[in-house]
A and B are shown apart, each in its own frame.
Chain A
């Protein structure tokens, strides 16, 4: 869209290729959602550590994304944009949970949910049952460490290591400079490394082939 004086407006330039009607907007949005739903579910799962909460989080993120669809900038991937929204909602919920936890002594008991063991999916690559059991144990330990990280470090570790984002993409999702992502990730890995060192001692390096 070019205005009479020849200036291209940012908002118009990167507006959605939505078409004119609400129906077309919805169709476009649902197509985008279908593409990235599984990915976002994984992201939400690693943030919350719970399937039900992950589903709920993704649902709300999509809804909010639809409400603010006109602020989506087409230069960036849709997935990253919704990831950023999801992360914001997650942060808000964490804050609320912390507040509730402060006032409710029984919150911890309510929070107890099924600890899913998805390490069963680790395939045996002809290494033998002992090695595979050990690997599963290491994965479980690392997962527990990541769950116990401070929220900001956890976000970066989930994005960069588990989801495989680059530093630049992670910085877009989190909304901070790349340098911050770099230092947070380093600290997070150092934390996990120390925990593993404490658990396995000198055998640590021989654990992973």
Chain B
């Protein structure tokens, strides 16, 4: 049956075929699908052109993989060395953490000291204030008593 949209045969439309071209190139399609795409490519020039472009991209990328960049590990991986550097890193981090904690403690201590001083000042102020109030109230009581005596 010819498809409704676009060129097609055996229920495969161009759009579907193009979507499967990549997997077709890698032979990662089911046998049935593979044959359908293959048959379509035999008759559809547009899709064949697309196929060739995909094939080109794949071939170039494969070639890219073949020409390996020159990466020569100087000494190769040594577990001993890696573990040592990891331990060194851990020690460094532990030192940083201890230092951080110490600084935090100093800041906290200073703040506490400052706030203690403030509190002492507050208490002194309060004492002065209450003393004042007491004096005043004593004076007031004495006045009241005097007035009461006069009244009597």
Q: CB within 8 Å of B: which residues of A?
A: 26, 29-30, 33-34, 37-38, 41-42, 45, 51, 54-55, 58-59, 62-63, 66, 116, 118-119, 121-122, 135, 138-139, 142-143, 146, 157, 160-164, 166-167, 178, 182, 185-186, 189-190, 192-193, 196-197, 204-205, 207-208
Contact = CB atoms under 8 A, between A and B. Distances in A.
A98 B110 CA distance: 39
B77 A58 contact: yes
B49 A205 contact: yes
Contact of A167 (B28, B54, B73, B77): B28
Q: For chain B, what secondary structure do more than half of its interface residues adopt (helix, strand, loop), or is it mixed?
A: helix
Contacts of B82: 59, 62-63, 66
B53 A205 contact: yes
B120 to A, nearest CB: 44
A33 B77 contact: yes
Contacts of B65: 42, 161-164
A205 B61 contact: no
A37 B71 CA distance: 11
Contacts of B21: 186
A18 B86 CA distance: 23
Interface of B: 19, 21-23, 26, 28, 49, 52-54, 56-65, 67-71, 73, 76-77, 79, 82-83, 86
B56 A186 contact: no
Given A116-B69, A122-B67, A146-B61, A62 B56 contact: no
Nearest to A117: B69
Contacts of B26: 160, 166-167, 185
A63 B61 contact: no
B25 to A, nearest CB: 9
A185 B19 CA distance: 11
B19 A142 contact: no
Q: For chain A, what secondary structure do more than half of its interface residues adopt (helix, strand, loop), or is it mixed?
A: helix
Nearest to A141: B60
Contacts of A161: 58, 61-62, 64-65
Contacts of A193: 53-54, 56-57
Contact of A54 (B22, B71, B86): B71
16 contacts: A29-B79, A33-B79, A51-B71, A54-B71, A62-B77, A118-B69, A121-B68, A139-B67, A146-B61, A161-B64, A167-B26, A185-B26, A196-B56, A204-B53, A204-B56, A205-B53
Nearest to A160: B26
Given A26-B79, A121-B67, A122-B67, 17 more contacts: A30-B79, A33-B79, A37-B73, A38-B71, A51-B71, A54-B71, A121-B70, A138-B60, A139-B67, A142-B57, A143-B64, A160-B26, A185-B23, A192-B57, A196-B56, A205-B52, A208-B56
Contacts of A55: 71, 73
A142 B61 contact: yes
Contact of B70 (A118, A122, A160): A118
A20 B74 CA distance: 32
A158 to B, nearest CB: 9
A208 B65 CA distance: 16
By CB atoms of chain A within 10 A, which of B21, B28, B76 has the most?
Answer: B28
Contact of A41 (B52, B54, B73): B73
A166 to B, nearest CB: 8
